[in-house]
Amino acid sequence: MSPALHPVAQRGYLLVRRDGVLWGVENGAVEGLSRHGAQFRLAVGGAELGVDEVVGVVAELAVWPLTGALRRFWPDTAGGLAVHAEAPLVIVDPQRPPRALRIAGSEGEMSDGEGRH
């Protein structure tokens, strides 16, 4: 494993689930959390994200960067990958919240740097 792939210890993540996928958001990046019916909405990086379930909070996660092979086949944005309770999860990049979690038409939706949304 190259040095670039060594995990980086981070502290404090909110774990959420959407469509069966587990996501982690740094506690400090969560600007708001509210309930909307059966779902929850998170404010992160100026965007509003929809999640099905708030799983909990973990004090620490080892975060691995996205590998080239994953980026090749998964075009969404993320801050890295981790494992919690033997389940893989995706770390949200607060600067570029993932399209998979964004609520359509929410403010703060950002382009991908190539003019696309």
Partner 1 sequence: MTTAEPLVGTGRRRGGLSAGSHLLVQAGEYVCALPLRSVRRVLRALTVHPLPGATDELKGLAEFGGEPLPVLELSRLIGAPPGAKPAHPVTIVVWVGPQDARELVGLAADAALEVSEVQLTSVVAGEGGFVLGEALVDGAVVRVVNLEALGGDR
Q: Which is nearer to partner 1, 18 or 30 (CB)?
A: 18
Alpha helices in 26-78 (DSSP H): 68-73
- The answer to whether residue 70 forms part of the interface with partner 1 (CB under 8 A) is yes
Rounded-to-integer distance, Cα 41 and Cα 108, Å: 14
Would you say 30 and 20 are in contact if contact means Cβ atoms under 8 Å apart?
no
For position 39 contacting partner 1 by CB under 8 A, the verdict is: no
Query: Which token pair is 55?
Result: 């799983």
Residue 100 · residue 52 · CB < 8 Å? no
Alpha carbon distance 112, 96 (integer Å): 8
Q: How far is the CB of 13 from partner 1 (least distance, A)?
A: 14
The one among 72, 105, 114, 116 contacting partner 1 by CB under 8 A: 72
Q: Confirm or reject binding of residue 49 to partner 1 (CB under 8 A).
A: no
Q: Establish if 96 lies at the interface with partner 1 (CB under 8 A).
A: no
For residues 2-31, which are near partner 1 according to CB under 8 A? 2, 5, 7, 18-22
Task: Tell me the C-alpha distance between 13 and 36, whole Å.
Answer: 22
Residues binding partner 1 (CB under 8 A): 1-2, 5, 7, 18-22, 64, 67-76, 81-83, 86-90, 99-100
